Amino acid sequence: MAPKQTRTEGQSSAKKAENTQQWLTSREAQKLSYGVVKNAGVPQDYEQMQTQVQLSSGNKLDYDDSMPIVTTLPNLGLGATLEKFPDGWTECLISGYLKKKIVNTPGFPAAIPRPPIARHRIAESPGKGLGMFAACNIKPGELVLAERPLIIAPRAIFGVRVAGRVPRHYTDEQYRQVTMFERERNLNLVTGRMAPERLEPLMSLANCHLQDGSGPILGIIRTNGFQAEEIRDKANTSESYYSVVCNELSRMNHSCSPNVARHWDTASFSMQIFAVRAIKEGEEITTEYCDLLAPAAQRQAELAPYGISQCVCPSCSNPAVSDPLRARIRVISRKMDDAGGWMNLDFPEKPDVKPLLGDLITIAKEGLEELDEYGYILWELFKTYATLQDSKNMLAYRQKHKAWKAAIYPDDAPEYEAGIDDLLKLMKFGNLSLNKMMKGKGKAA
């Protein structure tokens, strides 16, 4: 892996000083290096700063929104063991705002949902270290695993946090090294509180940042962290997110055609995965670390910081076939947005299932059932068959859409789907009401 370019060669010292100044006053997150960084580590003349992080005890909540704190969630008291609390707990480096938001979530801390039998196992994945595999056949929409994270820490690292302590002659890379060093010190405060039974699995996770100056904990977080929609700061920018690291879920390998969707549930404080298509016993369970609709070359660039130098999934192995298919799915995205989303109630005036079935095949060929575009096509097929008074196919696609939605939007209450069904029953096509068709009566039934 080539080291990432960090500075422009031959830059004038005036320009360099200007850049440095910008960096010192900037609230922008540092883009961290990866791969092999020459002379990684902090410069010898660097004086470490006083930490601003507060250790938070128990249920204390009266912090400033931006105050960084180290806290255990849920707070189970000293001496908690997995034997006593099998759902576990999470050591967090989060803002005062986020702690308040989590603790005030209705139901927090709820019990973690569990599938009726274990549906996953961790085993060797050839060429990829450990991976997660299906322990049984899994149906679309089914919960595979829910897990409380080991650790949560900010994704972005802001230069401003170390401003003032850093000599002006440092290169951009040296600033980055200092920033990472300070983050590692803060992370040490977090892991210093961890029970051995939580720390040991964390430290045994993969680390592909051994030569870029990341400390051991930061390296593991950078390699294994997931982003979760609800775990973010008030600012709500791409830099407000956190890295969520789990024991078993972080073992999942990447695929550009993932067979599960990740979901975060704040009430049970757990990361959850649901099958987006049928998974056979023994099949590897995979998730995505990159933008799935990007062309293969761009996906490759996004995967490099995770130590994946060449993705071997079928789509990356054959971009000449895959790239045009993914480009077609981007066209479906635009159609979906124009139509008002993946569950709109406009029934087609000129019903035609042919182009929709073509779109469905395209998405399934690329293994992208996780995308909203897939749910949109299932829903359009349901409406189109309803308009054609073909109750058999109409019901089949209604069911498929429900299973898809259970996997992607598990938070929606069952009453919501029932409400949609009630609404649909009031609709009429020719002399047939949707109510009758939904009971299996229609032209093609």
- Residues contacting residue 116 through CB under 8 Å, at least 6 positions apart: none
176 versus 254: smaller Cβ distance to Zn ion: 254
Site for Zn ion in 244-303 (CB under 5 A): 256
The alpha helices in 165-208, defined as continuous H runs, are 172-191, 196-203
* Mask for 83-122, x = binds Zn ion (CB under 5 A): ----------------------------------------
Q: Are the CB atoms for 170 and 6 separated by under 8 Å?
A: no
* Matching residue, tokens 């977080």: 221
Least distance to Zn ion from the beta carbon of 367, Å? 10
42 is an interface residue for Zn ion by CB under 5 A: no
204 versus 317: smaller Cβ distance to Zn ion: 317
Least distance to Zn ion from the beta carbon of 299, Å? 6
Q: Is the dihedral of CA 339, 344, 346, 349 positive or negative?
A: positive
Question: Quick count: other Cβ atoms within 10 Å of Cβ 41?
Answer: 14
> How many residues touch Zn ion (CB under 5 A)?
4
Nearest-angstrom CA–CA distance, 255 and 287: 6
* Mask for 202-241, x = binds Zn ion (CB under 5 A): ----------------------------------------
319 versus 351: smaller Cβ distance to Zn ion: 319
256 versus 353: smaller Cβ distance to Zn ion: 256
Single residue of 313, 381, 434, 438 touching Zn ion by CB under 5 A: 313
321 versus 423: smaller Cβ distance to Zn ion: 321
311 is an interface residue for Zn ion by CB under 5 A: yes
* Matching residue, tokens 């000449």: 320
Least distance to Zn ion from the beta carbon of 322, Å? 8
Site for Zn ion in 314-343 (CB under 5 A): 316
- One-character DSSP codes across 15-64: HHHHHHHHHHH--SBP----S--TT-S--TTPPPPPP-PEEP-TT-----
* Mask for 157-186, x = binds Zn ion (CB under 5 A): ------------------------------
Residue 193 in 3-state DSSP?
Answer: coil
* Matching residue, tokens 């209604």: 398
40 versus 256: smaller Cβ distance to Zn ion: 256
Least distance to Zn ion from the beta carbon of 255, Å? 6
220 versus 303: smaller Cβ distance to Zn ion: 303
* Selection from 288, 223, 299, 293 nearest residue 260 by Cα: 288
Least distance to Zn ion from the beta carbon of 271, Å? 22
Nearest-angstrom CA–CA distance, 409 and 413: 9
156 versus 256: smaller Cβ distance to Zn ion: 256
Residue 235 in 3-state DSSP?
Answer: coil
Tell how strand 54-55 and strand 68-73 pair up.
parallel
Q: Is the dihedral of CA 25, 31, 36, 40 positive or negative?
A: positive
40 is an interface residue for Zn ion by CB under 5 A: no
Nearest-angstrom CA–CA distance, 99 and 214: 26
Least distance to Zn ion from the beta carbon of 2, Å? 20
Residues that bind Zn ion (CB under 5 A): 256, 311, 313, 316
